[in-house]
């Protein structure tokens, strides 16, 4: 049956789909392990870009438009562990403060100070854990504003069948993937 449907749709049938759109479909107790690919991608890109001696402005553009964009897809659907977000921020901070000759450097200020908007004297980097919550809030907004969407109907049937979304509790046996 699946083979026929796959043939009609022109898609490959997988017996054990572990990844879907770059994310694991099953998230266990070790949530940090689930997102290890994101961290590896960070390190790989930094190692590739470190050979290019960029100016401070080039480093800023690299951090904001490339590195900070990598986890956005995962952050839209999962609450990343705070320690994992801090690890990613630490990688970016090391890249920012490094000396291009020795790859070591002095941290002249905290990452949280660098996340202050430019208009208020910061550098405007994203604090990943807060940005993660903002992206997840968009999902909540979608539930509130689009009550007839498939996403809202599935979430309502599974997690808040009786009460409203804003007053719904966690429930029993919640799935991290859900």
For position 25, what pLDDT does the model report? 59
For position 117, what pLDDT does the model report? 92
Query: Tokens in use for 15?
Result: 């017996």
For position 35, what pLDDT does the model report? 81
For position 166, what pLDDT does the model report? 80
- pLDDT tens, position by position, 79-100: 888 999 999 999 998 888 876 6
For position 36, what pLDDT does the model report? 82
In the chain, what are the domain boundaries? 2-138, 146-178
For position 103, what pLDDT does the model report? 65
CB 103 within 8 A of CB 50: yes
d(CA 49, CA 130) in angstroms, rounded, equals 27
Residues 32-57 as b or e (16 or more Cβ within 10 Å = b): eebbeebbeebeebbeebeeeeeeee
For position 132, what pLDDT does the model report? 95
- Helix, strand, coil shares of the chain as percentages rounded to 5? 55, 0, 40
Alpha carbon 152 to its chain centroid, in Å, reads: 21
- pLDDT < 70 regions, the chain: 1-2, 6, 14-32, 50-53, 99-103, 171-178
């Amino acid at each position: 049956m699946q083979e026929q449907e796959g043939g009609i749709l022109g898609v490959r049938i997988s017996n054990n789909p572990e990844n879907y759109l770059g994310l694991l479909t099953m998230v266990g107790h070790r949530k940090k392990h689930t997102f290890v690919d994101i961290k590896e991608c960070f390190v790989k890109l930094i190692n590739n870009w470190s050979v290019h001696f960029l100016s401070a402005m080039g480093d800023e553009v690299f951090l904001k438009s490339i590195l900070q964009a990598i986890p956005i897809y995962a952050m839209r659907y999962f609450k990343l562990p705070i320690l994992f977000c801090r690890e990613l921020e630490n990688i970016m901070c090391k890249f920012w403060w490094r000396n291009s000759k020795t790859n070591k450097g002095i941290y002249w200020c905290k990452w949280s100070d660098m996340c202050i908007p430019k208009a208020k004297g910061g550098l405007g980097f994203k604090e990943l854990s807060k940005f993660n919550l903002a992206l997840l809030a968009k999902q909540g907004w979608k539930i509130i504003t689009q009550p007839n969407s498939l996403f809202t109907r599935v979430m309502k049937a599974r997690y808040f069948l009786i009460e409203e979304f804003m007053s719904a509790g966690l429930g029993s046996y919640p799935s991290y993937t859900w």
